[in-house]
Structure 1
């Protein structure tokens, strides 16, 4: 039984676009099974229409404040939410009669953020590792339930359920929600986030590496001149070693770190983004024989692992149920010579995979190397999903599934959709993983058509 979160503070402001934005702070247990382990402060912003923005005494305002809730769960893990006025889909949700809640998941944004410095305050390496175990989907959905109960305490009982929208990892969280707390859910929307029903990440990466190879092939087909450019850049980086090319963050640009730019390939325009970086770096080499600060800064900013350490440290454990990840991506990549260095043919970029070398190459990750290694070897992860519950699910579920998704395998997604009773899918080969940002009108239209039975 999850108790309601303690509301610490709520302040409302008007923003351009006739939106009423409320900033919420809540207090919840860090470990719901052990309340004595301390608390976390969670932050969220809610939005609703401000039809009469200057009149706080509006008698209709209380009625509007009890509109049904629609909570958004950000992808990641480890990324905060944008403020509602900065999301292209906010007005779509509000126009459908909801009020929107954008939650900074625990450890992100203003929700007791996990950084190298804040983690260091917790104690020694084992204590830090134990603390990090509290930031997976199983804890996030408990936070959601606690917040839902706090925000709907004055609602009639029949209106206390809310709607969840999950993007990418947010969809993983939504599926965990369906598994263990379906009583709090009215309906669920998932965008590129139907999780694989696996106990560990090995099979996930077996499939995703193959998709990354396809994206590399598409990249070099579009920009064949980049084959030689990338080779020259990698040759330079290998010549000077893993720690010689210093970055402003005090990290270093190794050849393997440069390969990680392939993370961009899974998004709309990602191939072009990588090309722009390669072109800039190649131009530097032809003119000066080294990479300039501006180029290094652009490469550094395109990979945000230092700013979101949960993304790196917990990325493999988000798949774990009773197993250790043991640096799965590093083990599986050995099967794919396409990514090896040095290499005679085109050098392939990697994708959304985490590797132990990152704990030396990235300055912030370097500071959490010991607890990260402990997390990689930890095996006693609790279950994230209940297959029996999903099989008897009664909550309406609508999911966008992308055939060419480089981050979440299509076949795994469709298998999971089949395991969730009543799940309807909008399947497309015309969009990539970030469609909810880059193709928002098209993907929203497709998914909401499922909900409104237009496609039946």
Structure 2
């Protein structure tokens, strides 16, 4: 590993330090190679000696947020912490993975992707912490970031002083099939709620799906839009702001061109924005592997879809949610070159466990977690069991929020969690 390199600038009463550290590709030493890991640290004037808090972004496969203003949870955190926004490996400036950078034969690509799960992300964070001086730090994890912190508590708790998790307590012994059966059930509920609010949208969505079965329509990225891919825009139903945004997206999708009914250019542009994985291909590549612990996922979301009531020929139209399907690697140009590697990763039955139940049962790090009863992506029942399995963990259980509670009401949530952890 190379020493830390840092560049700094000023932003509205804050020092901003941009850190880069070189880490091993394989922290276990079996595969040669290195990566650069990037983190952006915010330090408010007068808080130069404050303890650090590291933020783990949701995903997988998404970089840390790039705040254009300091507000919400970040503003609250900076009142008592120096805040480190970590680009998890394979995202942002931490050796972003996509069809351009992931080279080699499919088997080589799949072996490479094994090193982009939570265990490697945690090991990267520990090396960064050591380079920043070695003091323990607080940690905040949203969604998949909470999964990473549960791994952190399992594998390197000595680096943590306190942990705050929002919408991200994973099932520590659940399989991918368990997760997707539960998330399909919650997605069905959110469909019912959405169409109850906007009954006309059920008719519109079914019309669009039927139209796509018989008419070729092409997205601005060049590929044909399929009916099954159109249904995946339902991922928006997991956010409190998603209902209205999805409703607006479905406004007037049709137009008439030379007497023929077609999808409008505006609608196709909106679908391109919502459906393309070009901005975050790693999400699609490793999404199911975050649930793999010694067993293959074998495209779990695809396998259990019909039994969950989401078959394409089901009598009632339903949007799908946070589910990745093998055929998306045939239809999305950003994913097509990575199709074989994705299939090999889905078939990999040797991915190691991410959580240690015994270590968690003897945990001594203060942990506070916000758990949302109606979360469409992280099933409440699994989160509840995990909270019970982590010694000393305290939970704020609520149905006030959907999965994006930290974005919508971050200052209040962080206040609640800090108080809960320190009681």
Q: TM-score range by the shorter chain?
A: over 0.9
Residue in structure 2 matching 1:73, options 52, 56, 72: 56
Is the aligned partner of 1:93 residue 2:90?
no
Is the aligned partner of 1:11 residue 2:7?
yes
Residue in structure 1 matching 2:268, options 291, 296, 300: 296
Is the aligned partner of 1:274 residue 2:246?
yes
Residues in 2 aligned to 1:441 and 1:90: alpha-carbon distance in whole angstroms: 8
Deviation at 1:22, TM superposition (A): 0.8
Distance change >3 Å, CA 208–CA 184, structure 1 → 2:
same
Match of 1:148 in 2: 129
* SS of the residue 1:202 aligns to: helix
Is the aligned partner of 1:219 residue 2:205?
no
Deviation at 1:50, TM superposition (A): 2.7
Instruction: Give CA-to-partner distance per residue, 1:35-82, whole Å, 9 cap, x none.
Output: 76110011110001135xxxxxxxxxxxx5443110000000000012
The 5 A counterparts of 1:297-336 are: 297-336=269-308
Deviation at 1:20, TM superposition (A): 1.0
Match of 1:23 in 2: 18
Give yes or no for contact 1:84–1:102 (8 Å, CA) kept in 2: no
Residue in structure 2 matching 1:421, options 379, 391, 396: 391
The 5 A counterparts of 1:259-270 are: 259-270=231-242
Residue in structure 1 matching 2:413, options 443, 448, 456: 443
Runs of 4 or more consecutive aligned structure 1 residues displaced over 3 Å after TM superposition: 84-87, 282-285, 342-345
Residue in structure 2 matching 1:341, options 294, 303, 312: 312
Residues in 1 aligned to 2:9 and 2:307: alpha-carbon distance in whole angstroms: 54
* SS of the residue 2:78 aligns to: helix
Output the TM-score relative to the length of structure 1. Answer: 0.89
Give yes or no for contact 1:199–1:322 (8 Å, CA) kept in 2: no
- Structure 2 gaps of 5+ residues are none
- Structure 1 gaps of 5+ residues are 52-63, 154-159
Q: CA RMSD in A?
A: 1.8
Q: Higher relative CO (CA 8 A, sep ≥ 6), structure 1 or 2?
A: 2
Give yes or no for contact 1:200–1:324 (8 Å, CA) kept in 2: no
Deviation at 1:229, TM superposition (A): 1.0
Residues in 2 aligned to 1:49 and 1:99: alpha-carbon distance in whole angstroms: 7
Output the TM-score relative to the length of structure 2. Answer: 0.96
Is the aligned partner of 1:172 residue 2:147?
yes
Deviation at 1:410, TM superposition (A): 0.3
Count the aligned residue pairs: 422
Residues in 2 aligned to 1:180 and 1:288: alpha-carbon distance in whole angstroms: 60
Residues in 1 aligned to 2:121 and 2:182: alpha-carbon distance in whole angstroms: 27
Which structure is higher in helix share? 1
